[in-house]
Amino acid sequence: MQEHSRFQLEATKLARTVVFQVTVFARQDKARTRLYAETQCSDPLHFLLQFVVRDAPDFQTLLSQFMAELVQRGFEPRRLRLRDVAAWEEWKPVPPLTPSPVS
């Protein structure tokens, strides 16, 4: 596995703002690349909350899955920023959450 990218996502829950710093890793399997990301935090009701996204085909899918996990656990995603080679980019509003297909 090698590092693919980094991003920070700011979310709120119970009037508390949390900034998640996420490192995305890429795993190369034959002819395709799969992305993996993991981060954690604590909140007033839980000692530790862990967020994991595995086997995302691209960054947009990974971001959508991560935001869906946040929403499921009561967070409201606000804004995010990506890391380029030297520094963090400017904060931008999060893209709208696209519903995942029902299986």
CA distance 21 to 83: 10
Q: What is the mean pLDDT of each run of 10 residues along the chain (103 residues)?
A: 88 88 88 87 70 90 91 92 90 79 47
Regarding pTM above 0.75, the answer is yes
Residue 14 confidence (pLDDT): 84
